[in-house]
Structure 1
């Protein structure tokens, strides 16, 4: 027997001994005021019920304590410690609830009337506490199925709520609010656990801790497009290369081979598209959600620095809103020509 179990047994034995001593002292105190024979005659009708209650409590206590180690040995391999604690707690509460029903049945004697009373009371409680019950059920789902866990970044679309999961309790989930520019605001958002049943939840890091982000850079149509792509690719790889390699390894382990080619890349992905007054070059990279502001800032800063190096200056220019006036000789009047030739 383990030391902890021995200590627990000693504590329980000590508690029972103290209880017997207390009952004995109470009997000694009462013997001067109440006739023992009269006392026994008064409590004789309820002695069987008291005995059945004590026996029921004792049997269920022994049964629960003896079956929990067996249950743990059988299923703990399939659950982490938090999940096992929840299962153990629910198993214990369920058995004590059965013991409570048995005791009430023994006390009242009429099971049918007791069942009706319990049903009516249960229905009233369920109606009054439906949101609380739903939140508790949501907590159980969160612990077992893990739609999100502490540290995940989640987004509730219908409520426009974005945040990092800070804590999960029986009734609520606490989020650290994140603005839409991926900056933590420092505010806490309190969500009922019933949200998992009522709202679609987007988990940024459900299977892979890194997420894809797209960083657009607009260059002018006169820029050297190939040079601009190379600069942006090299900068993105230098800043986010290690995180992309880590994410690629995780994806290869957790996803089928059919999706590896598209998602399990160790290099930034460059995409080009035309805009109204610029060419947009997008660098798609993977990084931890909490590092998005720092990584995007580093990439933009280094790209700007590379564009302005002497060997690249004039070849690649960042596009910005402006107006350019183009004059054609065949449509200009003599007066306009003289004005611009001055």
Structure 2
């Protein structure tokens, strides 16, 4: 059913073009008086040709969009939709104007002059359009990515010709990387003038994250570190193993050489009156806060089960 609409549109457009040719050749309204100074046959042929251009462009757009969506890749289909809109929209508009004026070269020259004038009048929208081309080609982010663009942070839900729409996280209402429910619209031109951070970009959907637990100097650090590694391994397990494999594969395609641990690791730093243990692990950015909460619960529960080996600082400076 979905394919019948674009195919039917192309077929009707072809019939309109054929009818325009018949009207031009047979001139069925030659005996009728002109309408507003226009020959009825010429006017009818132009209407039919313009309709043919619109219908064929629309049908071809829907067919091409259907092929893009059949790939099953939502990000690729979204990018293809925007490109196809621009291409077929431009072709359709130029075609209709050319049919109406019957001066192809003059029309193209006029469009060039108008475009040159618009460049000065609409610098920011044109800059956003150029940025959209950059985003489409270089793909610093795409639909579904969690990003920070300038001061805005969120999940990308749409990349249009002029703006990128984010489902906001953090913001003024909430914290801890939680969605606020607000939608933020960012001009694409911001991408060309500020930094863009893609959480989970670079070829791997995973990012490194940390939780920090402060313990007293009297703590058995080897035992505490082992407990933290055990809990992270038990919670993340196979998912972290897959994430590390994907992370290493992404690094292999770059000239960057980094040491990647096979599992969670714990770093130790000294504070004013405590020792801080930082558990480092790999997770998906959208599950970051959920994993962090669960790890805190499990680690603290294990620590509380061994008060003889793990002590917490009691200083007011904590």
Shorter-chain TM band: 0.7 to 0.9
Secondary structure of 1:294's partner?
helix
- Aligned-residue RMSD, C-alpha: 4.6
- Residue equivalent to 2:206: 210
Instruction: Tell me which residue corresponds to 2:161.
Output: 170
Task: Give the counterpart of 1:135 among 128, 134, 148.
Answer: 128
Give the number of aligned pairs. 297
Q: 1:121 to 1:235 in 2, by over 3 A?
A: same
TM-score by length of 1: 0.68
Structure 1, gaps ≥5 residues long: 29-34, 324-342
Question: 1:218 and 1:169, CA in 2 relative to 1: closer, same or farther beyond 3 A?
Answer: same
Distance (Å, rounded) in 1 between the aligned partners of 2:270 and 2:11: 79
Distance 1:168 1:39, change over 3 A: closer
Q: Counterparts in 2 of 1:184-195, with a 5 A limit? A: 184-195=179-190
Aligned to 2:193: 198
Higher Rg of the two aligned structures:
1
Q: How far is the alpha carbon of 1:314 from its aligned partner?
A: 2.3
Partner residue, 2:302: 306
Partner residue of 1:291?
287
1:319 aligned residue? 313
Q: Distance in 2 between matches of 1:285 and 1:246?
A: 12
Deviation at 1:293, TM superposition (A): 1.5
Residue 249 of structure 1, aligned match among 228, 245, 250:
245
Residue 232 (structure 1) aligned with residue 228 (structure 2): yes
Q: Deviations over 1:214-257 (max 9, x none)?
A: 11111111111111111111112122223311211212333318
Gapped regions of structure 2 (runs ≥ 5): none
Identify if the C-alpha distance between structure 1 residues 64 and 192 changes in structure 2 by more than 3 Å, giving closer, same or farther.
Answer: closer
| In 1, Cα distance between equivalents of 2:134 and 2:205 | 21
The CA distance in 1 between the partners of 2:56 and 2:179, in whole Å, is 51
Contact 2:12 / 2:52 at 8 angstroms: preserved in 1? no
Q: In the aligned structure 1, how far is the partner of 2:54 from the partner of 2:12?
A: 19
Check the 8 A contact 2:200/2:206 in 1, yes or no: yes
Normalising by structure 2, report the TM-score: 0.72
Q: Between Structure 1 and Structure 2, which shows a larger proportion of helix residues? A: 1
Name the residue aligned to 2:12: 11
Distance 1:22 1:107, change over 3 A: closer
Larger mean CA deviation between 82-91 and 277-286 belongs to 82-91
> Which of 20, 32, 36 is residue 31 of structure 2 equivalent to?
36
